[in-house]
A and B are shown apart, each in its own frame.
Chain A
Amino acid sequence: MNALLATVRRDLLLALRRKSEVLTSLFFFVIVASLFPLGIGPEPALLKKIAPGVLWVAALLSTLLGLPRLFAADHLDGTLEQMALSPSPLALLIAGKILAHWLLCGLPLVLLAPLLGLQFALEGQTLFILSLSLLLGTPLLSLIGAMGAALTLGVRGGGVLLALLVLPLYIPTLIFGAGAVEAQSAGLGVEGHLSLLAALLALAVFFAPWATTAALRIALE
């Protein structure tokens, strides 16, 4: 467990030295979300209708933006090989890296989303559900994305390939995440969506670090 926390701490410290990388994907989220009203028109009823989908897709894309960097630097300077040789299980260290990635790329989205929701004429409870669905959904995006990042590590055209591999796998998260917000604005129950999102998260927490580790070992061979 200590190994996991140490990895998280290390990655956070490294990110503090390179703030721009984290901020880039955050601003990407804001800009993409702001482009939609400009393209579609400022009518509040329409914006309210498209808000869940737009904000979720924007969150999805901005998570994707940070993924190629998840393992790239550590792969280049040999840290990853050191990790593979270290006495603590590699899966635990990788889980730490994924957690750090979520803290840097996912959590800010959760905190920022209500502000963007205001731009889309969302109100009180719906904003809360938006944040809640992102809180459950963004870790899932990081976990699934990590598998893709590990598979495409050091591969020709890695970034585009990563999007091709990961985006189809993001679909269930998008459906349940955006669905929860939509159900809330339509006055329907949100428990179903949120519990399914939580179930997927539990499944991914269990399997994704393991699969990511297997993929990384292949890349390191």
Chain B
Amino acid sequence: MTNMNLINWFRFASPQSFYPLAGKLVPLFWTLALLFGAAGLWVSFFVAPTDAQQGEGYRIIFVHVPASWMSMIIYLAMAFWAGLGLALNTRLSSMMAQALAPTGALMAALSLWTGAFWGKPMWGAWWVWDARLTSELILFFLYVGFIALQSAIDDPRRADKAGAILALIGVVNVPIIYFSVKWWNTLHQGSTINLTRAPSMAHTMLWGMLLMALAFWMYSIAVSLMRLRAIMLERERHTEWVKHALE
């Protein structure tokens, strides 16, 4: 029984059987993303009440927090797939890591952008060296490094492996960087700047944030699967299955 399951599972671990499956999954995740997005936007603009301290400006949280979460989750997912590709030498998982990186970088960039637009009215400056903003910036650099390293190596297998090692080094370093930046921040600025939300955050605000986070999540899966399909075709262009896949 377990043996059967294992075989079924691994059947999708090859590009040729995953390509059509991904093609079916993409519309599904797009639908989910749109549904969650519509619900999330409704809650964030029409249901969630005005914040007592920040007025309407706090509504940026509904895109800022999901983007920040996704930038971190995607980094972990990317490192996971890259590491799996390195350990088991499976082509598909390395391609998955490669497909995730640009979306992760985009999420980090969005998190920085919305963070700046939130910081300006709340703290009076577009950029403050807040621990979270600074770590997000460094996470963005790590994404850029990963993408740059992979695109600088011509041999795809070597690019996969080098990228995997870099992603794993990054995973070890992200918490260290976060805590060092946080420590540095408390030393230099005391507690004058505090992003921590008031404890009495309205339930509807939390719901809006969760719905938006789910929408971002589904979006990331959908767009990465699309990119994965393109990468699969590019890399395996000389194989039999690609010829059949296009018929």
Contact = CB atoms under 8 A, between A and B. Distances in A.
Contacts of A5: none
Q: Is the interface of A mostly helix, strand, loop or mixed?
A: helix
Interface residues of B, number: 27
B172 interface: yes
Interface stretch (A19-27, A129-137, A161-169): A161-169
Nearest to A173: B180
A168 B142 CA distance: 7
Interface in B162-219: 162, 165-166, 168-169, 172-173, 176-177, 180-181, 183-184, 187
Contacts of A218: 158, 161-162, 165
Given A175-B181, A211-B169, A161 B176 contact: no
A157 interface: yes
B184 A151 contact: no
A13 B242 CA distance: 55
Interface residues of A, number: 27
Q: Is the interface of B mostly helix, strand, loop or mixed?
A: helix
B149 interface: yes
Contacts of A31: none
A172 B165 contact: no
Contacts of A215: 162, 165
B154 to A, nearest CB: 8
Interface of B: 138, 141-142, 144-145, 148-149, 152-154, 157-158, 161-162, 165-166, 168-169, 172-173, 176-177, 180-181, 183-184, 187
Cβ-closest 9 pairs across A and B: A172-B180, A168-B141, A218-B161, A165-B145, A175-B184, A175-B180, A155-B152, A156-B152, A164-B145
Interface of A: 147, 151-152, 155-158, 161, 164-165, 167-169, 171-172, 175-176, 179, 196, 200, 207, 211, 214-215, 218-219, 221
